[in-house]
Each structure stands twice: as structure tokens, then as C-alpha cells.
Amino acid sequence: MGRLFGTDGVRGVANADLTAEMALGLSVAAAHVLAEAGTFEGHRPTAVVGRDPRASGEFLEAAVVAGLASAGVDVLRVGVLPTPAVAFLTGELGADLGVMLSASHNAMPDNGIKFFARGGHKLADELEDRIESVYEEHRTGAPWERPTGAGVGRVREYGEGFDRYAEHLLGALPNRLDGLKVVLDEAHGAAARVSPEAFQRAGAEVVTIGAEPDGLNINDGCGSTHLDKIKAAVVEHGADLGIAHDGDADRCLAVDHTGAEVDGDQILAVLALAMRERSALRAETVVATVMSNLGFKLAMEREGIRLVQTAVGDRYVLEEMKEHGFALGGEQSGHVIILDHATTGDGTLTGLLLGARVAGSGRSLRELASVMERLPQVLINVPDVDRTRVGTSAELSAAVADAERELGATGRVLLRPSGTEPLVRVMVEAADIEQARSVAGRLADVVKSALG
């Protein structure tokens, strides 16, 4: 069996790959592993459980809550809230564990389980590995030790989570958003209520699209993976900017007043300069992944800001930030971590801070984002291949070496297996878009033939 945990929890098609039995079993295993690790020592444990609006989240939430309570963990159900809200509330309420049910930007049939440790931080790899092995051990027959009587966990609704999270977001802002008109695309997802509420409380005039989740329409032609609607809406409403979330709102992408996309690299660049201006960018350093555009690296060098790069995945960005005390990091996809105010990527917080920079500086987002020039970058996702063989195929290694020779110092190639889906990502940067497309297309063909 392959590893259940990917770069962002356990994901799969709900009720096929990710079943109620698995959700229950993983939750019980997590409770036992954290008890073993001493997390619950000396007190009765508590968990915060939230979800995005997917229909499958209803039965999966029930399974997770049942599993935790059966293992003696008290549960606070916070309902439909963004992933970063569940992380925040886990820390804020002093809970021992947080659980979020979401498959983020994936299509509606998928779902996922993400665990947070005390304080709202993602679980360490070794704890995830231990949860998986304990789950497997008991799935194949070893009985659980179960509490009885007063030892079973109690379950209650925690309705105050919405307001506590919204107030937390407002407390992170250096200035208000008065005078700003913002379009928000909520992807029919977890932030459909709380994100517009936070922007309005901050003083912005808000137009919302994609804010009517029905359990089936999450990420469907909207949100941060489908920007056409928000681009049109920003222009139509004469807005200053647009903010597009994904299904669980742990990321955002932006659109300037002309309808042009502002990606995660540009958002990072704008926030890095804003934070340095108010002495909040510790060590004058920003953390990003190897997927960041070469133009971002060049802009940071020109502005005298140090760039530290990590493997792809916001968890690796976060590890680097925590280890060295850096304040800002993120990914091109729009996962941005502001460590003074969040333990994970927070799309609503990022959008609010971007809006605050526009409002406070009196400059348009287009002007602010022009601090960096994006070099042409082509990304091709190659599905239905054996992603585990990326580093071992001689045919693929030779093709990459040829491509790197062709591009020389003006571009680069990056091949990586997805951490959440059965595909390989081929990324090529070049000074010329046609060259980037040509090289990426050839490499994608080799990936198909070598790993298919």
C-alpha cells in the first residue's frame, strides 16, 4: 500500500478511496498516537473539527467526530469554515488536535482529512507516518482500547468560531480598507460567509461571486483555479481589485483593476515590500519554493530582500520559516503564510493585507505588482503516469539534460510528482514563451512514454 498522507493530508474520491470507515479509523489512530506522544498528558483532550461545504463532508465529519469521541476526545464542531480558521481556532482554544475535512482546490467528488497539532500547526511527517501505521495495524484486526462511561468524548457545537476568526483577521491589518471596492470569488467554498464579512468589517465595498455553496458546486468553474469570472466581474464593477479563493480558502490569487492576474509570486513581492516598510519582515527574508518564477527571484535581489527556496509544498515553506524565525513565505499558487498571524496559508488574510497595501499606499495593485516581471512559464500536468519513477527514469533524465542545455542561463526546467494527485508536473521557464511551450511539450511527451 502507498503512503496515505500526501503533502496536504489524506485525499481521495469520497466514499471510494476515502470512506467513512477510513475517516473513523484515522481519527482513532490520531488520538492514540497523540496520547502516546504525551500530547494529552494530565488533561482531558479536546479537538476542533471543521469542514468545507462538500456534500461528502457531512458524512465524513460524522465519522471523524465519532472516531475521536470513541477514543475519549471531546470535540468542538465549528462547522463550515476555512482551513486556516480551523488551524487558528485549534491554537486559540488550546485544543490538542484540529481536523479539517476538505480537498482544497480539487473537484467536488474528492475530499480529504488534514490534522493539526496543538497550536494549529500541521503534524510532523513522523507523526503522520505513525498514525498511518497504527491505523493499518488496527484495520487488519488488532482491537482498540476504548474508554467507557464518563471516559467517552463529548461533542458540542462551537458557534463562536466564525466571529473569533473574523476578529482575528481584522486585528492583523495595519490599516483599514475604506474607499476600496473589492470583488471576492469564494469558489462556493468554505469562506463563502466569513471572507465577505471580514472585508466589509475592514471597510471595503464588497461584490461577491461564487458565494452560494450547495455542497455540489465547490470549485466548479470558479475560484482561484478558474479566474475568468472574477476578471470579468472586476472590470464590470469598476473594482480596485479582485480576490479569488480556493475551496478551503487557504490560498488566494488576485486580479488588478484591469482584469490582469496577480499570482502568488507577485502577491509575495508586494507583501514583502509592505512588511519591510513597517519593519515586520524579519531578517529582510522571504521564503518561497523552487516553483517560484525566476522574475520573483530577480525582483527580490534588486530590492535587497533575501530569498530562501524550499521544496514544493507550503509545509516545507512553513518548516523553514519556523526554524529560522522568518515572517513571510509562500507559493506561486497563492499559499501565503504570514507567521505572525497564521500557522498555515490563509487566503482571506492574504487578500485583506493586499487590499490594505493598496488602500494605505494610494497605489493601484497593478502598479504595486509591477515590482516584478514574470518570465514566461509553462506548466503541463501529465496525468495517469507513475509519479514515483520521476527520479529513476534514464530516458527522462536525458530529456531534461537536453532541455537544460537548450535553455542555457535564460531558463530552467522543473519536473516533480504531485503530492496530492496521480500526475507529474512539467514546468519550463524561458525568456521566450514559444520556446518554453515547445520544450515543455516535448518533455511532457517523454514523461508519458517513459512513465505511462
Q: Range with the lowest mean pLDDT among 74-83, 214-223, 313-322? A: 313-322
Place of cell 509562500: 330
Residues 6+ apart with CB under 8 A from 239: 181, 182, 183, 207, 233, 257
Checking if the pLDDT of 452 tops 90, the result is no
Where are any strands of DSSP class E within 161-230? Answer: 181-185, 205-209
Of 385 and 33, more confident: 33
185 annotated as ligand-binding:
no
At residue 258 the predicted structure's pLDDT band, cuts being 50, 70 and 90, is: very high
Could you read off the pLDDT of 92-125 as tens digits, one per residue?
Answer: 999 999 999 999 999 999 999 999 999 999 888 8
Residue 388 has pLDDT above 90, yes or no: no
Q: Given the DSSP bridges, would you call strands 285-289 and 328-330 parallel, antiparallel or unpaired?
A: parallel
- Tallying the residues shown for the chain, one arrives at 452
Report which DSSP code applies to 243.
E
The catalytic position among 27, 104, 333, 393 is 104
Is residue 384 annotated as involved in ligand binding? no
Render pLDDT for 401-422 as a digit per residue (tens, 0 to 9).
999 999 887 788 988 888 767 7
C-alpha R_g of the chain: 22
**Is 27 among the catalytic positions?**
no
Domains of the chain, start order? 5-159 (3.40.120.10), 163-369 (3.40.120.10), 377-451 (3.30.310.50)
**104 marked as part of a ligand binding site:** yes
Report the chain's terminal Cα–Cα distance, integer Å: 20
d(CA 133, CA 29): 9
Residue 17 annotated as binding site: no
Give the model confidence (pLDDT) of 56-74 as tens digits.
Answer: 999 999 999 999 999 999 9
Is the predicted pLDDT of residue 2 greater than 80, yes or no? no
Q: Are 187 and 213 in contact (CB under 8 A)?
A: no
What is the β-pairing status of strands 97-101 and 74-80? unpaired
User: 107: closest CA among 438, 421, 427?
Assistant: 421
When comparing pLDDT for 390 and 209, which is higher?
A: 209
Cα gap 201→166, rounded to integer Å: 9
Residue 27: CB atoms within 10 A of its CB come to 30
If you average pLDDT over residues 28-39, what whole number do you get?
A: 94
pTM for the structure as a whole: 0.89
Q: What is the pLDDT of residue 298?
A: 86
pLDDT given for residue 1 in this prediction: 41
Q: Which helix (H) or strand (E) holds 78?
A: strand 74-80
